[in-house]
Amino acid sequence: MSDFTFNREEYLKRINFDGEVSVDFESLKSIHRAQHLSIPFENFDICLGRNIRIDPKSIFQKLVKHKRGGYCFELNGLLLMALKAFGFDARPLLGRVHLSREVTGRTHQTTLVTIDGKSWIVDLGFGAEAPLIPIPLIYNEPISFQKQTYRLIKDEVFAYILQNNPNGHWKNLYSFDLNPVFDIDIKLGNHYTSTHPDSFFTNARIAALPIENGMISLYHNKLKKVINGKEELITLKDDSSCLDVIRKEFGIELDAEYGDLKGLR
């Protein structure tokens, strides 16, 4: 048995949330937005060759106490714990990423939240393309926020597919169904995603953090800033100054040398 107890006050402080929390859609939307703006998407521990531990205590220690970020199993794992702690009806779902033509395994964790008979997909773990607001569990109903537009479509094989519309054309992001997800399913997905040589996350340095007027993201050594609709692309130097950029742009203080970070690939 774990001795971990979720600390609601410490979590709210970490995400810079100072309001009251009720079990309603407005609180759900506010918590989702606050965590999204405060805790970055990132895979630096994978790049350092470290195990990604997704038990509740480890997630809370890393993302809240140590002020790090994480990827879907960590970010959405933390959100799921928080929502349950505040009394929401929430449970995990697993999805297949559709950004390439190949069918992938169920390696993306997201969250289903139900309030008064209505359900939403709440996702903080899809990098720069993660929805900034909860997505209603309704087919073919586009929802837009800050130049993002998403919808869910029905598929005979994959059930629900989440799409976005970045350039006027719908693009598949990931699919999911509503079947129960167990701890072992999440452990298997996390293990593959964080260790397998074919995993996207073991072959790239990745980070993303929404800001009030845009998005900051990192892929390999390319830092992209999209602010008020204007895009700036910066090539980072292959030296320790990269750690300063990670600290400044994403608020991440890595307890490692730069040579350790780039040594994985």
In this structure, are residues 36 and 124 in contact, taking their beta carbons and an 8 Å threshold?
yes
**Active-site residue 108, yes or no?**
yes
Take residue 72 and report the two structure tokens written for it.
């879907």
Annotated active-site residue in 32, 45, 123, 242:
123
Take residue 124 and report the two structure tokens written for it.
């903080």
Count CB-CB contacts under 10 A for residue 230.
Answer: 9
Annotated active-site residue in 47, 72, 98, 242:
72
155 forms beta bridges with 159
DSSP 8-state assignment for residue 118: E
Element (H, E) at 193: helix 183-195
Annotated active-site residue in 32, 36, 98, 108:
108
Residue identified by tokens 């989702």 is 32
Residue type, 227: I
Closest CA to 133 of 231, 25, 38, 216: 25
DSSP 8-state assignment for residue 97: E
143 forms beta bridges with 150
- Which residues have a catalytic role annotated? 72, 108, 123
